[in-house]
Structure 1
């Protein structure tokens, strides 16, 4: 190891080296990023200012919007910068920081989605006890627990990765510093780090997804037993937005972290889907399918 040169920066390949394609991609991703910022900031503003939205569901939704802002802001600014410059580099410390916040945001969002599923389960299956069961302290505690689990998961994986030595090549076949893309560049054995990442992500995904599936199995059973078609439709509408977000997030994130690494373009597309596109679509899904949010937005715009 003492005869090897330890690299201090990485080169992010991104999607293409063609200048014309890079210009097109820069315009596209800049629009996506600005729409993501605008949509999620609008959701946070509406929920924080409207007195009609002071319920646990919207409390969780405001934190989800903040997470989506964080998720996209971890990668998008650097990706936009690299699309405009020829030197597509990121420092070692910058890469480790980016990977830490990526894993933190992803793990926290998985936990938060399971908390939102429990909220819907309590609201639909136990409506008379809902106000007592899902109270403010419980909601705050679940959000803190979500951030805590995401932090511990990210810190543990990044500490193991930090102990690896990178001595070349320094080219990352990705647009950001996701941990699976860093392991092939290590000149020390990354088996332990790769196994830890796979196990921790699989465990986190299994636990949170199991809680979500259990909640929705009970929710669907309760909705089917409702005799009124109007009440059934209202119950389904309050859950369909959250279920759509769950499918978008888990459908790509788990697949990205569990498949063998190949460096293909599809891996970058999957990462864009769960870290960028999902953050863009979440506020649209919740605002377009939720009458209360649309009414609150209308009241805010009138003011």
Structure 2
């Protein structure tokens, strides 16, 4: 006698039929109608609600791809007597590696029918991806949605764990495409992102690292005592050294509205900012000196450079 059959014997005389129906709906959720067609009586309902979570998930997976049942008693007997693998084999044609483990990690509640189909198809299309299932305590529809939102080669359980929602995936993709000045279909940028994840970086850290490497437009001033601040990362470092709010002007620098230069002087170091005054040229508009307790000092100079 199996464990779930033993559990059933303990509850088969439960008098509260309403409670059984409530529990069936509680566990079966969006598959409730299909489950009730098979386990329609109170005694049968007890079998469903007291079955181990994996057994129920196998039944749910089978019912999720079963559109029409000619002989319900025979079909139910098959569910109650055949092994999990055989049930899945008959329903799906194949049982890819990790499918039963993923169902075990799906938990006690039924998912939408589409969930089981997409999970099965993913493991068919990515036969090695089952290796990363052990890193999850639970798998659900949200995770499958994340998986199917990720571009190749990131559409793996290995990388899906870095995101909490499909929206987060879209935000990451949009930012990564923008920072790479590329198209969504370019596989090189996603391969690069995968390498960053493999190094242990989070999605936020990957974007931040890439952002720090973003180049500003070419400098318009060349002088031996001036060093052009050429990247976001360099602007960030300068803001830390001078303890001022240079990072607030990152967008201006990327749009070439402003350019920043460090004045290479030991006695009176400062950051020189020039403003794009198109179509007339650039105006040197401020010297941003090292901050004191009252913030950084700026002095307007109004020196125009010809176009």
State the TM-score, normalizing by the size of structure 1.
0.21
User: 1 or 2 for the larger relative contact order (CA 8 Å, sep ≥6)?
Assistant: 1
Structure with the bigger percentage of helix: 1
Structure with the bigger percentage of strand: 2
Q: Which structure has the larger Rg?
A: 2
State the TM-score, normalizing by the size of structure 2.
0.21
